[in-house]
């Protein structure tokens, strides 16, 4: 029988990947303003995808958060960005706002 000592790094903060669906008015610098809002909160952005359809900017953003309160703060901050109409957490990426939008 062998004994192997193991130590867990409890100091390291765990991060969770979250998929957000964002709808906003199509305006200059909307994506920049959203990403700056997220970056100010020291959030890692994994992926961003936006499309313009009619007068709306529809997009998805994958971010990493530490817990539910952290996610709530981020969503509330994004909602305050001028031109943002809605921000929602999406459990299933097939429900994302870009799903089904035709690409050229």
Per residue in 1-55, pLDDT (tens digit) is 777 776 666 566 788 999 999 999 999 999 999 999 999 988 999 999 999 999 9
Q: What is residue 14's predicted lDDT score, i.e. its pLDDT?
A: 85
Query: What pTM, to 2 d.p., does this model score?
Result: 0.76
In order of their start, the domains of the chain are 16-95 (3.30.70.260)
Per residue in 77-90, pLDDT (tens digit) is 999 999 999 999 99
Nearest 10 degrees: Cα torsion 94, 25, 39, 65: -30
Q: What is residue 100's predicted lDDT score, i.e. its pLDDT?
A: 45
Question: Measured between alpha carbons, how far is 26 from 84 in angstroms, rounded to an integer?
Answer: 9
């Amino acid at each position: 029988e062998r004994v192997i000592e193991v130590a867990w790094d409890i100091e390291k903060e765990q991060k969770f990947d979250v998929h957000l669906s964002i709808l906003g008015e199509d305006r200059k610098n909307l994506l920049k303003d959203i990403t700056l809002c997220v970056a100010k909160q020291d959030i890692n952005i994994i992926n961003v995808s936006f499309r313009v359809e009619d007068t709306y900017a529809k997009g998805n953003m994958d971010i990493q958060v530490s817990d539910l309160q952290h996610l709530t703060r981020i969503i509330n901050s994004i909602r305050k960005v001028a031109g943002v109409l809605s921000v929602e957490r999406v459990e299933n990426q097939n429900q994302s706002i870009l799903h089904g939008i035709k690409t050229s």
